[in-house]
Structure 1
């Protein structure tokens, strides 16, 4: 009976670890395409990205000229510049909305060729802040208005959907409240719509406060992977990309052709991205164009953001995977689209791997006695090596980084182990989100509060948007920290160090998540 249980635990652990390894190898494939893209750029062989079944569509985009191989707007007045609607969907952003409006109003683009719509669903003092700032810029001749709805139906997706009725732009630029786009943003993105099959131009997120704390440093480490290796790798490999919800521009015709914004998932951006590309449109990613933004600085805000992303990813996978597999994409594209849509599910397998590794530790003696070799686990090191390579390239080698190689390498080596530990510590929280997403459980769109934190001297303490709620997952995170600490002690006691480092990282990860959650909650 003991061997039956032992083999069952081993099977659960191995299947979960195999899933994680396959995902990591898929990421390595994107790294291969990212490096291929860099080689093509270096050799002057860069190709325009494409997607299957890209259709020819009419376009009223501006006349363009090539300057050093990069499309730019001709310096001509009037109709040479296409009309753009800039949408700012917000909800209770008292601390950051003023700076966003200031940044967008300063766009270096003809004033009569763009309009700004502040899609304001706020229920607090933000409404008055927006009203005053809009009035200020309207007095200066800026085409800006505050758009309010009677009911916040559909949350962000609903605001974007409803605002399409009053938008006059041929192109729709979108920014969340925590962004600070540069003045030349439109001139850096609109020219790429000269290609009639490009439906979206997405820019890279930059981080104005990444050095504020350990939490922000680790977030930047992860986001840098998506906005270098993943996006460029998918574009170069001709896989499906995604619009990231902000810091990008849509062709209006693309939104309409793909069926418009839908509020049945928490990641309306990923949902519409997939639907648009299945219609034949392309997403063009500009790695070299950065859009600065503020990272969440406290644990509860980070967890609410992670929950929305993970649950929304699962909801979109549940919704779109059947359509992807019934489409005329190639098999390789379908596989990569599946990996992309199932990215959030990786946390469920990380959680299962961690929990099952503890009983496995104590069953290893019985398994070894009947011929099982611990060397079997060495095969899965390919996954760890793959993910190390991906994060190394994204955070050290990517050309968008401004630090010296030595400084970037030191930062990566010191942060990456902590990143792995805290990522594993978020596994329970994110697994709950994924399960809810796959079950189809509905929940509101919970915004991620931002506090205008730019430097070390800024503080979020006593800010109005801090949460005081203590959830059952936080209590379980504390219990899991003790669970894996006991596993470390137990492994040393029975003189089996097979999982010692793994369990130590899990104990530290869950412990850190538990500690920061309580600490930041107490500051509310």
Structure 2
């Protein structure tokens, strides 16, 4: 075996082992969730003296959903004289007029609601929240993004937890208004359910750190200030503030039984844009805070989990590296008659696949109860889409590592709630990029690999090759077809 062939195989197996460690971590999350089931957050009665609460609604070009959002907030069950609503609008389109009209309409019905507009969109969402906080009168701050619908009971279900003076934030679970709209929304709903149920649930129940998700959560205002306030040097200001606050000793609570419905992106480019922002922001926070976390006096279990949490997106560049190495590693072993060595990597692939399947099946069982079996059919798509995101999210990770700044790119919302709703005729669109063309090349690469494996009766890796092929081609074709059609429509509307 030549030195080059040895290097290829060595790097291939090293990459597989590292990814297997990330897969093992999923099993640990499932274990922590069920092992600490008795520590699930229980309902706590409201305090005798109801505190004043400020609701902040940061907006940027949300013409299709702003009315739905504001109307839902006014239906929250809480005394009007104890509730302040701030509509923080940085929009540059018709959203401004729609939001102002909604504010005036609800003010006429006795709500303490304000329309707040800045001269400059400095700091994006974090800047808007920080500016709004300067004028806020609430002891607690409830935040909603534009694609959410506030559940009427949210304050009744969360404020009681703040009777513990150490609690700094309470997060509720996201629901999905348009879960059944398409295969893409079904996949996203499974991914999000796993994040909230098992990651948030497992971390919170076991005393590890978890994060505010930027929306559908209540902050103690004092905790925000004590942690240094909203900062906009990362794209995930929510994750950043969450870790800074918990490092200061504030305790977070995840209320799993309260669900806040939200609209899932229905278009692939919008989904990728959202994922890119989350992945890049997470690595930015990793660079900013992980050294401080590891050097702190926090418990070892908290440090280890924080390291897994903040480095999880490194799996995406590793997936790209693995994708490139799979073919030459297979050819080298086949040509040398080392087919038996595939008994090493095939079990690793199976183990990693089973970890993902087990993780998401457990979350679906928690959400759907006895009907969880109806969700099994989406698991192949969940696996494929996770692979298909690798190029997009690996790009985000590399940008963060290189210190490349980028604008906070909003996720387009179309008020798509049911199967009959159309988004293609609406103005907003996801940000196109060259990523789909890289995905197409990888899809073609795996097609060639599948042909080689089938021609030489190398059958063990074929299911995984097909999974990678499907993931990259699905991500590419959806991005190109949806993006081109949407771009043509936007040009017609602007003409």
Question: 1:499 maps to what in 2?
Answer: 461
Question: 1:8 maps to what in 2?
Answer: 7
User: Hey, what's the Cα distance between the residues in 2 that align with 1:185 and 1:309?
Assistant: 25
Matches within 5 A, 1:32-71: 32-38=31-37, 40=38, 46=39, 70-71=43-44
Question: 2:52 maps to what in 1?
Answer: 83
Question: 2:23 maps to what in 1?
Answer: 24
Q: Which of residues 117, 129, 149 is equivalent to 2:86?
A: 117
8 Å contact from structure 1 (residues 361, 498) kept in 2: no
User: Hey, what's the Cα distance between the residues in 2 that align with 1:422 and 1:513?
Assistant: 7
- Normalised by the length of structure 1, the TM-score is 0.90
Question: 2:398 maps to what in 1?
Answer: 435
For 1:153-178, what per-residue CA distance to the aligned partner results, in whole angstroms no more than 9, with x for missing partners? 01001111111110111100000000
8 Å contact from structure 1 (residues 85, 117) kept in 2: yes
Question: 2:389 maps to what in 1?
Answer: 426
Q: Quick check: 1:175 aligned with 2:144? A: yes
User: Hey, what's the Cα distance between the residues in 2 that align with 1:379 and 1:334?
Assistant: 30
User: Hey, what's the Cα distance between the residues in 1 that align with 2:258 and 2:484?
Assistant: 39
> Which stretch has the larger CA shift, 511-520 or 2-11?
2-11
User: Hey, what's the Cα distance between the residues in 1 that align with 2:136 and 2:304?
Assistant: 37
1:314–1:47 distance in 2 versus 1, CA, 3 Å: closer
1:471–1:70 distance in 2 versus 1, CA, 3 Å: closer
SS at match of 2:45: strand
Question: 2:320 maps to what in 1?
Answer: 351
Q: Which of residues 185, 198, 203 is equivalent to 2:172?
A: 203
8 Å contact from structure 2 (residues 83, 112) kept in 1: yes
Aligned residues: 485
User: Hey, what's the Cα distance between the residues in 1 that align with 2:9 and 2:274?
Assistant: 34
Q: Which of residues 418, 422, 427 is equivalent to 1:459?
A: 422
User: Hey, what's the Cα distance between the residues in 2 that align with 1:261 and 1:500?
Assistant: 48
8 Å contact from structure 1 (residues 37, 232) kept in 2: no
Q: Which of residues 360, 363, 372 is equivalent to 1:408?
A: 372
Q: Which of residues 342, 367, 385 is equivalent to 1:374?
A: 342
Q: Which of residues 437, 461, 468 is equivalent to 1:475?
A: 437
User: Hey, what's the Cα distance between the residues in 2 that align with 1:206 and 1:368?
Assistant: 52
User: Hey, what's the Cα distance between the residues in 2 that align with 1:129 and 1:363?
Assistant: 63
8 Å contact from structure 2 (residues 268, 478) kept in 1: yes
For 1:461-515, what per-residue CA distance to the aligned partner results, in whole angstroms no more than 9, with x for missing partners? 1211124x64221111111111111110111122222321111111111111111
1:24–1:145 distance in 2 versus 1, CA, 3 Å: same
User: Hey, what's the Cα distance between the residues in 1 that align with 2:373 and 2:18?
Assistant: 29
Question: 2:490 maps to what in 1?
Answer: none
Matches within 5 A, 1:79-158: 80-158=49-127
| Offset, 1:520 | 1.1
Question: Which has more helix, going by share of residues?
Answer: 2
Matches within 5 A, 1:278-297: 278-297=247-266
1:47–1:307 distance in 2 versus 1, CA, 3 Å: closer
SS at match of 2:481: helix
1:331–1:337 distance in 2 versus 1, CA, 3 Å: same
Question: 1:52 maps to what in 2?
Answer: none
SS at match of 2:256: strand
| Offset, 1:236 | 1.7
Question: 1:222 maps to what in 2?
Answer: 191
8 Å contact from structure 1 (residues 350, 424) kept in 2: yes
Question: 2:492 maps to what in 1?
Answer: none
Structure 1, unaligned runs of 5 or more: 41-45, 49-68
| Offset, 1:440 | 1.1
User: Hey, what's the Cα distance between the residues in 2 that align with 1:206 and 1:93?
Assistant: 20
8 Å contact from structure 1 (residues 3, 366) kept in 2: no
User: Hey, what's the Cα distance between the residues in 1 that align with 2:266 and 2:299?
Assistant: 41
Question: 2:409 maps to what in 1?
Answer: 446
SS at match of 1:373: helix
8 Å contact from structure 2 (residues 389, 475) kept in 1: yes
Question: 1:57 maps to what in 2?
Answer: none
| Offset, 1:3 | 2.9
- Over aligned residues, Cα RMSD in angstroms? 1.6
Question: 1:384 maps to what in 2?
Answer: 353
User: Hey, what's the Cα distance between the residues in 2 that align with 1:9 and 1:184?
Assistant: 57
User: Hey, what's the Cα distance between the residues in 1 that align with 2:346 and 2:207?
Assistant: 33
| Offset, 1:374 | 2.1
| Offset, 1:387 | 2.4
1:432–1:126 distance in 2 versus 1, CA, 3 Å: same
SS at match of 1:288: strand
Q: Quick check: 1:522 aligned with 2:484? A: yes
1:111–1:385 distance in 2 versus 1, CA, 3 Å: same
Matches within 5 A, 1:324-339: 324-339=293-308
| Offset, 1:365 | 2.2
Q: Which of residues 40, 45, 52 is equivalent to 1:72?
A: 45
8 Å contact from structure 1 (residues 310, 344) kept in 2: yes
- Normalised by the length of structure 2, the TM-score is 0.95
